Structure 1
Amino acid sequence: MTDVNSVEDSRVYQDDHLIRSLVAQYHSPLYVFDAAAIRANCRTVKQAVPYAHLHIRYACKALSLQAVLKIMLDEGMWIDASSINEVHRALIAGFTPEQIYYTGEGATLGVYRDLVERDVLVNCTSIDQIDLLGQAGGTRCSIRINPGEGHGANTQTNTGGPSSKHGIYFDQLDAAKAAAAQYGIRITAIHSHIGSGTDLGHWLRIKDKTLDFARGFPDLDTVNLGGGLPVVYNKTNDQPMPIREWGAALTQSMQEFSAEMGRDIELQLEPGRFLVANAGVLLAEAQAVKSTTNADGSDGFNFVIVNTGLNHNIRPALYGSYHPIRFIAPKDENRGAPRDYVIAGYLCESGDVFTVDAAGNLRPRVMDEIRVGDIMVMAGVGAYVHALKSEYNSMNLPASVMIMEDGTTRMIERRGTLEDVMRREAEVYQDENAPKI
């Protein structure tokens, strides 16, 4: 068990022979996922927290492919779902309703009736949702508490404090209890999550605040402390979670809290990114290499255009996220001296650039000479990359391949087609039973 969950250490990212063979067989762009890495990450978290009454829920919004969900099921993970479709995807993968936890910021009566009928625990994120759950016939719920502070890699991943939309603000808990009592709803669980990429100090402080809130709920049987375990994308800047120290602190706190409450209180955790980030790479091909010149005649930028873009990984454009990138030649050969390169996508979009900072400024990287036909390998795409993909510019979606534990490969999602892009346009429907509009 290691504290460093670095995406650069991925066995797929480092294996030139494997990368060449995958591109030759499946073409590019291509998502590649590593089953062994996912399993290892699951076991790391389980081993880190020896608390006897623990369930780990996979935040499946990070990567919801059926092949991944089935690995999670096999590893004993439960599910944190953020939409009704994620609930149904989990059910299709084989999870039972008891193993699924629903946390959605929006809600409809129809969705809540479906969840109540299936006996999926609803984590209410507003007092309005408690009212809606009562109308749907719910008799128990969890509530998500905004503890008044948050922390994360940036403002977009910070999920606590007055600037966050998430959860019921901590000073409104009496109103939440009153709303639940009006419908005879028992609040059996509380939940808090302050952001993705937080550190140990913030994690433990919010843990303590959450346990303080938990003392005010007489029907409580579960405390859910969310996720947010950091992943090392950039070894120069990113700090890992000291996973064993983290797990030991959680275990001690929950043992003491259970003793105080006079009964065993279940601990639930919701890692998403930590379980899958380092298990994915994105492969693409260099299709053009070109340069610009500044107005004063000095060198501008050397651009490498690859056959993928923000439609297949939006994180750099959305968050300024860093992903390790390297290029390999189709076959071993000598190359010229290293140069600064900006790696950009193939979309008709100025922001379609992978090597940027959080403000969107170009940040060239020093790499050996790159030529057309070279294979780009981008690490750390297991979390919130495939899940955020789009068909912008009517581009087809990549295929997805899983590297199995024995080293064999299996396609788990076929490459997209124009028919897929257009499948919901009413004008192209050929189905006689399609709605007439």
Structure 2
Amino acid sequence: MQNPQQIQGVSLESIAHEFGTPVYVYDGEKIVEQIETLQKAFSSVPFKIKYATKALSNLSVLKLIKNAGAGIDAVSIEEVKLGMMAGFEAPEIMYTPSGVPFEEIREAVDLGVIVNLDSIPLIREFGKTYGGSVPACIRINPHILAGGNHKISVGHVESKFGISIDLLPEIVEAVNEYGLKIWGLHVHTGSDIYDAEVFLKGGNVLFEAAMQFPELKFLDFGGGFKVAYKEGDPSTDVMEVGRIVTKAFEAFCRKYGRSLELWIEPGKFLVSAAGLLLVKTAVVKSSTTITFAGVDSGLNHLIRPMMYEAYHDIYNLSNPEGKLEKYNIVGYICETDTLAAHRQLPEIRPNDLLVIKNAGAYGYSMASNYNSRLRPAEVLVWQGKAHLIRKREEFEDLTRNQVLIEI
């Protein structure tokens, strides 16, 4: 895996100099290439991409994704509104909430997006309120254990997401009782899935359930394509997934009696490798067993290593030919805050620029102000130019909504 010194001819060093560190940097061309790869892989059937907005929800990135021909999947009403601000029309947005108050469902319906119903009580409430006047989708829990870290495996029998496939008769009963118009069925088994057979297994659950719903317009296979985080890491062969899944989908449509649309919801696949986090070394210190390189960032900006034990490749942009030494790359948060452990890297010196790779997905979108730290800037490199797409926070942003009372 290459360690880029530049993106589209723009040097990372110049970006760090112009915008400061830490800073998230996204390669817009890489995002578009990933969309085009999926469009090619599923080109034999009517196909729509619904980008998982939660992965990276910056307005400029969303606009780029829209212009490349994708729609979005939103998991909150705020993501729905962000999508609309970026230019998505309501029919291009799938809203997939989990356990939200019904007031949020009403707001989504009023905005005109399609709602993905994930519980039988929600189906019934939706039916009482709208009957067959508002089309909807139903999220099925397929009872498939798949993916990487257990925290991102969401299709197993004890997951909170979706409605158990074993409750299909109750789903059908509720739909018929209220005359609901069901336009889609949806499954999502988790993240970091690279076996095409897992996607097909989820598809087979959809195919079987779909025969109970005569008004379907689409089947949504979810997302979860695995990306490579280091040399030798396996990743999803999306061309193979497309070949296997579209073949099975075409056979299902013949059995169903008409052609439907096939939807998928990639998040990480579109933006992970397109994103880098540039940080600066603040201090290098040694203990009796390890040398620490402390940087001007931490789990408040990139929580994945601490939350999921995720691996992110890191390289020394300032001293790529230095003597190899072993380091723990640690953040400035008052907490165990390890971004990378026991990494062999060229000698790291104070003020060296380090680049954290695969930071596009669930990086900034999961960032926080923990320790009252400020969130970084975001930069999109597009058509050979670095564009600031989010300003770095300032101290005033921390107190903007606080109210200091008389005590």
Is TM-score (shorter-chain normalized) higher than 0.5? yes
What percentage of aligned pairs have identical amino acids? 35
Give the match's secondary structure for 1:51: coil
Counterparts of residues 246-265 of structure 1 (less than 5 Å):
246-265=241-260
Q: Which residue does 2:361 correspond to in 1?
A: 383
Q: What are the ranges of 5 or more consecutive residues in structure 2 without an aligned counterpart?
A: none
Q: Distance in 1 between matches of 2:127 and 2:5?
A: 49
Q: Which residue does 2:284 correspond to in 1?
A: 289
Q: Distance in 2 between matches of 1:250 and 1:83?
A: 29
Q: Which residue does 1:339 correspond to in 2?
A: 325
The reply on whether 1:166 has 2:161 as its aligned counterpart is yes
Counterparts of residues 127-138 of structure 1 (less than 5 Å):
127-137=120-130
Q: Distance in 2 between matches of 1:325 and 1:392?
A: 23
The reply on whether 1:354 has 2:339 as its aligned counterpart is yes
Q: Which residue does 1:327 correspond to in 2?
A: 316
Q: CA deviation at 1:334?
A: 6.9
Q: Which residue does 1:359 correspond to in 2?
A: none
The reply on whether 1:218 has 2:191 as its aligned counterpart is no
1:311 to 300, 303, 314: 300
Q: Which residue does 2:54 correspond to in 1?
A: 61
Mean CA deviation greater in 112-121 or 19-28: 112-121
Q: Deviations over 1:91-125 (max 9, x none)?
A: 11111111110101122222122222233111111
Counterparts of residues 61-100 of structure 1 (less than 5 Å):
61-100=54-93
Q: Distance in 2 between matches of 1:175 and 1:219?
A: 18
Mean CA deviation greater in 24-33 or 124-133: 124-133
Residues 138 and 10 of structure 1: CA distance in aligned 2, closer, same or farther (over 3 Å): farther
Q: Deviations over 1:269-293 (max 9, x none)?
A: 1111100001100011101111112
Q: Which residue does 1:426 correspond to in 2?
A: 403
2:261 to 261, 266, 271: 266
Aligned partners of 1:109 and 1:136 also within 8 Å = no
Aligned partners of 1:291 and 1:303 also within 8 Å = yes
2:390 to 406, 409, 413: 413
Q: How many residues align?
A: 403
Aligned partners of 2:304 and 2:363 also within 8 Å = yes
Q: Distance in 1 between matches of 2:9 and 2:185?
A: 47
Q: Which residue does 1:301 correspond to in 2?
A: 290
Q: Distance in 1 between matches of 2:141 and 2:321?
A: 56
Q: Distance in 2 between matches of 1:138 and 1:319?
A: 41
Aligned partners of 2:10 and 2:386 also within 8 Å = no
Q: Distance in 1 between matches of 2:347 and 2:3?
A: 23
Residues 207 and 283 of structure 1: CA distance in aligned 2, closer, same or farther (over 3 Å): same
Q: CA deviation at 1:414?
A: 0.2
Aligned partners of 2:8 and 2:381 also within 8 Å = no
Give the match's secondary structure for 2:333: coil
Give the match's secondary structure for 1:364: strand
Aligned partners of 2:7 and 2:381 also within 8 Å = no
Q: CA RMSD in A?
A: 1.9
Q: Distance in 1 between matches of 2:280 and 2:171?
A: 53
Q: What are the ranges of 5 or more consecutive residues in structure 1 without an aligned counterpart?
A: 1-7, 294-299, 356-362, 429-437
Q: Deviations over 1:30-68 (max 9, x none)?
A: 110111011111101101111331111101110000011
TM-score (norm 2): 0.95
Aligned partners of 2:145 and 2:189 also within 8 Å = yes
Residues 424 and 50 of structure 1: CA distance in aligned 2, closer, same or farther (over 3 Å): same
2:28 to 35, 39, 42: 35
Q: Which residue does 1:102 correspond to in 2?
A: 95
Q: Distance in 1 between matches of 2:54 and 2:307?
A: 17
Give the match's secondary structure for 1:228: coil
2:116 to 117, 123, 137: 123
TM-score (norm 1): 0.88
1:367 to 319, 333, 345: 345
Q: Distance in 1 between matches of 2:131 and 2:58?
A: 30
The AA in structure 1 aligned to 2:307 is L
Q: Deviations over 1:229-270 (max 9, x none)?
A: 11001223x212122121111221121111111111111111
Residues 185 and 15 of structure 1: CA distance in aligned 2, closer, same or farther (over 3 Å): closer
